[in-house]
């Protein structure tokens, strides 16, 4: 009788373990999209298209580890521009996008896993520019360049500013040097990294106006089971020190 009870209990545990992953259909896969957003995600060869192992960066490494631990299959593609990737993730089930800045405006549009990393929002001026601002509102009298459909640009628009949006954030470096814009609204440390890639250093931080958290944004039709398993995996990786170690290795 005791042996039968033990067998029954063991069988029940096996069924319970299987049920925890039974909600995902056979062959389920998440289509992950990202862009060149160094040092968080970027193509190894610096081009605007890459797949899987051709992509590295802090967020890319953390996301890979998350999916491996959660035992969820995925494909990973880096493309351009961000605006297209953003709209694809909004429209297509089982699509995911990172590194996506979490904002109250975006919260109802996606399902979220994170934070994967943190960053800051800044207004940068050309080298030698002594411009000083105390608030974002004061920036309204200047020409401000930003990156189309990026969270920074969206925030500026929500505050009544009218940023001059570029399809590639790198374009704002030369715009700043040529005087086509007075200020560059971007993410730190991304802006300085991009400027360095363009051979430009010494940009001045005129204003730091927000601290942001970067997430994996999933299409709203993504099963809750996927979200829960990925978040659990990320929480475990963070508690083990993996996320901090990966961040330190790039910065």
- Tens digits of residue pLDDT in 165-199: 999 999 999 999 999 999 999 999 889 888 988 99
Closest listed residue to residue 79, CA positions, set 124, 48, 109:
48
Question: 108: cis peptide before it, omega within 30°?
Answer: no
Count Cβ atoms below 10 Å from residue 248 Cβ, excluding itself: 10
Query: What was the pLDDT predicted at 193?
Result: 84
- Residue 34 contacts residue 76 (beta carbons within 8 Å): yes
Closest listed residue to residue 36, CA positions, set 187, 210, 206:
187
pTM reported for the whole predicted model? 0.73
Query: What was the pLDDT predicted at 245?
Result: 95
pLDDT digits (tens, 9 = 90+) for 133-164: 999 999 999 999 999 989 999 999 999 999 99
Integer angstrom CA distances of residue 24 from 73, 105, 222, 236 = 11, 29, 10, 22
């Amino acid at each position: 009788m005791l042996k039968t009870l033990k067998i029954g209990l063991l069988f029940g545990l096996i069924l319970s373990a299987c049920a925890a992953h039974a909600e995902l259909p056979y062959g389920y896969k998440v289509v992950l999209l990202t862009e060149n957003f160094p040092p968080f995600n970027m193509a190894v060869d610096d081009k605007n298209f890459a797949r899987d192992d051709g992509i590295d960066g802090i967020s890319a490494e953390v996301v890979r580890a998350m999916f491996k631990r959660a035992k969820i299959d995925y494909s990973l593609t880096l493309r351009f521009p961000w605006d297209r990737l953003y709209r694809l993730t909004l429209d297509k089930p089982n699509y995911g996008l990172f590194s996506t800045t979490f904002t109250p405006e975006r919260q109802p549009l996606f399902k979220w896993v994170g934070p994967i990393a943190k960053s800051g929002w800044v207004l940068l001026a050309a080298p030698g520019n002594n411009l000083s601002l105390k608030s974002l509102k004061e920036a309204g009298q200047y020409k401000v360049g930003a990156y189309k459909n990026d969270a920074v640009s969206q925030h500026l628009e929500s505050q009544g500013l009218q940023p001059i949006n570029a399809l590639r954030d790198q374009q704002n470096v030369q715009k700043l040097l040529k005087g086509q814009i007075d200020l560059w609204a971007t993410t730190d440390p991304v802006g300085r990294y991009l400027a360095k890639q363009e051979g430009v250093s010494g940009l001045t931080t005129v204003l730091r106006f927000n601290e942001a958290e970067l997430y994996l944004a999933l299409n709203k039709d993504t099963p809750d089971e996927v979200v829960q398993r990925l978040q659990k995996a990320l929480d475990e990786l963070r508690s083990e020190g993996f996320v901090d170690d990966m961040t330190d290795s790039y910065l």
